[in-house]
Structure 1
Amino acid sequence: MKVVILGGGQVGFNIARYLSGEDNDITIVDQSAELLRRLSDSIDIQPIVGYASHPDVLEKAGLYEADLLIAVTASDEVNIVACEVANSLFKVPRKIARIRNQSYLDPNLQWMFAAQRISIDHIISPEKEIALNIGRSLSVMGAFDVKSLEGNVSAIGVRCDQPSPILNTPLKFLPTLLPNLDFMVACVYREGRFFIPSGDDKLLLDDEVYFIAHQDVIPVVMQQFYHDPDYTHTTLIVGAGSIGLALAQEMEASSHLSDIKIIERKAHRAEIVARQLRKTEILCGDALDSEILAEVNINETDTIICVTEDDKVNILTALLAKKEGAKRALILLNNMDYAPLVTSLGIDAVISPHAITVSSILKYVRQGQIRSVHSLKDGQIEIIEALATETTSVVGLPIEDIVIRGQIDVAGLYRGNQFYIRPTKTSIRVGDRLILVVAEPSVAKVERLFATRPDYL
């Protein structure tokens, strides 16, 4: 697949890094020759120096042959114009744009982004995606991440920070230890490495684990990790920027959150946000001021979420809040080099805006009958939902033939109205929807399994 990426920042680089290892032809356009040189030294790309919306630059980047354009420059306007040029002049079949300014994302204006107007096939709003991601995490107390899958099934990220019977037990014995509790340990993060466990592997203290289960059993599974399954009821948001506002709006629409407060340092911004929220209390002040934290009853707060633009402010505020009695702290972190340190200091979850944006884009990049993609830890593991149709090579194969130890596992199967955790002893039928856990080197193999067979082309 020929992919042209506009913008060589962290998002553009990470998308290119994921795709370049899968036999794709990747071109990156950026104004910085030095940046492109550094990218070329680390991944296999064709670098093009130039302004990303200029037709001559796009022609040089090979848009006449491109299958996909991904516009992730720092400018919304450049991304929008580039997609329109790609459609009008080069007839690029698929175009994805990152758009951050909420003015463009007004629901009443979405008619603009249609085939006969500004032709963008998929719009990615990082602020909205981050708010949705945090909102999902809040729905499961004790989880550091929640990935919503089809049919009320979720992949839950939980840290093994408490001794429990579920630890140091071979995974193949968990069904015996926990009968009638259908869940699957999909992947484990240990000592800087993600892996897909086998039945002989054990969970250890301090592991980060993703398990897959139906929402009905998730609270019970969380109890096995000794985490309180209760919902978050009182929440403090630090920072009323576009992410903080989007998060508050998302939480106001939630049915289980009863008390939401925001601390914003800038008085003008606090006034603007106050006019847009109905159920949220807005305080103007410095969240690093212990008197402000006392005013919001931080010792009675279930969760503090720090989403300012300053990593250091987010880290220090979260640590102070935990010291003063907040039960749980989540922070936005742009520099993920800090992540191991802050989690070791007691911060419960770290949200990477770049990783969330990349994951949101990847679900539109995958080919064949792949319906959604959830990227974990910089793409080391992907949780993929895929549909078996009569045109795909996977139909008729036994489940066991797909599984590759340490590389590909089938975590779940939807067949009709039934959902099965870790299905075995069955062959794949037309209409089956599968949840697969896939290590990065095997993603291309999964795409081929769910691609249209040549005899149907």
Structure 2
Amino acid sequence: MKVIVCGAGQVGTTIARHLSSEGMDVTVVDLDEEQVRRVDEGYDVRGVVGHGSHPGTLAGAGARDADLLIAVTRSDEVNMVACQVAYSLFGVKRRIARLRHAGYLAQDRRGLYAAEHLPIDVIISPELQVAEGIGHRLRTPGAFDMAPMAGNRVKLLGIHVDTAGCAVVGQTVASLNASGAQRAMSIVALVRAGRCFVPTSDDRLELGDDVYVIARTDQVATVMAAFGHKEKVARSVVIVGGGNVGIHLADNLRKTSRGMTIRIIEQDRARAEVIARELGDGVIVLQGDALDRDLLSEARIGAAETIVAVTNDDETNIFVSVLAKQAGCKRAITLVNKRSYEALIPTLGIDAVVSPSAVTISTVLRHVRRGTISALHTLREDFGEVIEAEVTDQSRLLSGPLGHVGLPPGMRIGAVVRDGEAFIPDDETRLQQGDQIIALVTYSYLKYAEALLGGGGRAR
């Protein structure tokens, strides 16, 4: 498969690296010569310097033979035109574009992006997806990560083991997976001392671990309680940053969480006035610098249950989260773009980190995986992902019980959906054609896992 990636920023570079590691022929296009040089020298990809929407640049990148174009530059307009040129002049089969502006996104419902108008097959909207992901976290307090899967029949939960004396500390993974009502959960990954790994059945949980769990949706409260988390859903939220993420989140919470007090802090006066008009009486908008302690006090940050820091500046998000926690705010959800801050976050008391690039990468990869894979959620960009896939008649997973089909050490099947019902499998479970599986797969075993799944070539 031949892929052109327009944009050599963090998202484009990471996508290119992932696809190249899977044996695809990848070319990255960017105006920044230094960025292109780093990509060209650092990964097994080809770099081309030029404007991503210019016909000559795309021709030089091999668009005549390309199967897929992924446009993730910083400009919506460049991304849209790149898709148009790729389709009209070179016949590129599939086109994916990242769009941020709400005005462009609103036109999707009116058919603007159909082939006869502006041919974009998949639109990625990081701000909308980040806001949705934060909403999921707010509805599952105590989890630092949460993603509904299989039509919300199961949930992927990231849980801190941070309560001394809670029931799970010292227990083996095998005993925890086997316990609970009707096998409520499956532990698929552990993060310990900064290292992420797939645990064996004999590994014991330790205080300070971060655990990734796949749980039946009807058992989430039971699972969270077992880990010592009995937090209530927040009724008072302060959102710092009135950009696209902040306004989408506030609007979603206003519509879905009755009785919740929502305050937004926005530094730009004109933007604050726009937000106040758009959101109306259901949201309190405060204008000023969120790092000003007096303004935080006016926002009643000490009484708030959650602060959500989603400005365009990582440092502002981190510092305002720390100030809020010091003032008595119970929980901080913080948007961070730079991976270099990843190791620092746990030491600051921040409860959950949201990465826009990880959200975008998950969405892109979902559309270039094998045809049987319908969804995925990235767990740390260098570790692996949780996938949702259908078991076809070609799958080697049908050859016997799960304990005997040769699952690699980097793959864990955490849940199965059969006839609309979800259950947690064990080594004696036999899969059936048509089952949906939710599984963790590390990147080092991704090809092996795809071979086990079978089901033909790449996604449409």
Short-chain TM bin: over 0.9
Deviations 1:225-279 (A, max 9, x none): 1112421111000111111111111212223561111011111110001111131
Matches within 5 A, 1:198-347: 198-255=200-257, 258-278=260-280, 279-347=282-350
Letter in structure 1 aligned against 2:355? S
Within 1, Cα distance between the matches of 2:401 and 2:22? 25
Is the CA contact (8 Å cut-off) linking 2:416 and 2:425 kept in structure 1? yes
Residue 122 of structure 2 is aligned to residue 122 of structure 1: yes
The answer as to whether partners of 2:412 and 2:440 remain within 8 angstroms in 1 is: yes
Q: CA RMSD in A?
A: 1.9
CA shift for structure 1 position 109: 5.2
Q: Where does 1:44-443 land on structure 2 (aligned, <5 Å)? A: 44-106=44-106, 110-152=110-152, 153-163=154-164, 164-175=166-177, 178=180, 180=182, 182-255=184-257, 258-278=260-280, 279-390=282-393, 394-396=397-399, 398-402=401-405, 404-443=407-446
Deviation at 1:446, TM superposition (A): 2.4
Q: Judging changes above 3 Å, is the alpha-carbon distance between structure 1 residues 41 and 140 closer, same or farther for their aligned structure 2 residues?
A: same
**How many aligned residue pairs are there?**
454
The alpha carbon displacement at 1:177 in A equals: 5.3
Matched residue type, 2:59: E
What CA deviation, in whole Å up to 9, does each residue of 1:322-344 have, x standing for no partner? 11110001111122212322321
> Gaps (5+ residues) in structure 2?
none
Residue by residue, what CA displacement relative to the aligned partner does 1:124-143 show, whole Å, maximum 9, x if unpaired? 01110110111111111111
| TM-score (normalizing by structure 1) | 0.95
Change (3 A) 1:360 1:444: same
Change (3 A) 1:438 1:10: same
TM-score under structure 2 length normalisation: 0.94
Q: How much has 1:192 moved relative to structure 2?
A: 2.4
- 2:256 is paired with a residue whose SS is coil
Alpha-carbon contact 2:370-2:455 (below 8 Å) kept: no
Structure 1 residue 396: Cα displacement: 4.5
8 Å contact from structure 2 (residues 408, 445) kept in 1: no
* Partner-residue secondary structure (3-state), 2:26: strand
Gaps of 5+ in 1: none
Residues 392 and 328 (structure 1), Cα distance of their counterparts in 2 relative to 1, 3 Å cut: same
Equivalent position SS for 1:217: helix
Contact 1:83 1:95 in 2 (8 A): yes
Secondary structure of the residue aligned to 1:425 is coil
Provide the rounded CA distance (Å) in 2 between the counterparts of 1:129 and 1:77: 20
Matched residue type, 1:130: V
Q: Which residue of 2 aligns with 1:26?
A: 26
The CA distance in 1 between the partners of 2:428 and 2:178, in whole Å, is 19
Q: Do the aligned partners of residues 65 and 400 (structure 1) sit closer, same or farther apart at CA in structure 2, a change above 3 Å counting? A: farther
Contact 1:28/1:47 (<8 A) preserved: yes
CA distance in 2, matches of 1:176, 1:59: 56
- Offset at residue 422 of structure 1 (A): 2.7
- How much does 1:391 deviate? 5.3
C-alpha deviation, 1:447, in angstroms: 2.6
Q: Residues 53-112 of structure 1, C-alpha deviation per residue, up to 9 Å, x if partnerless?
A: 111221221122222111011111111111111111222221110011111011575410
Q: Would the aligned equivalents of 1:343 and 1:349 in 2 still touch at CA under 8 Å?
A: no
Change over 3 Å in CA distance of 1:257–1:318 after alignment to 2: farther
Alpha-carbon contact 1:71-1:83 (below 8 Å) kept:
yes
Deviations 1:270-322 (A, max 9, x none): 00011111311111122222222222222210100111112221111111111
Q: Does the aligned pair in 1 maintain the 2:177–2:186 contact within 8 Å?
A: no
| Preserved CA contact (<8 Å) 2:392 2:434 | yes
Identical pairs, percent:
40
Describe the SS at the equivalent of 2:375: strand
Cα separation, 2, equivalents of 1:62 and 1:397: 45
SS at 1:169 equivalent = coil
Structure 1 distance, partners of 2:140, 2:327, is 23
**Structure 2 letter corresponding to 1:40:** D
Q: Is the 2:183–2:424 contact (alpha carbons within 8 Å) kept by the matching residues of 1?
A: no
Q: CA deviation at 1:401?
A: 4.7
Does the 8 A contact of 1:374 with 1:384 survive in 2?
A: yes
Counterpart of 2:35? 35
CA 1:342 to 1:245, structure 2 compared with 1: closer, same or farther past 3 Å? same
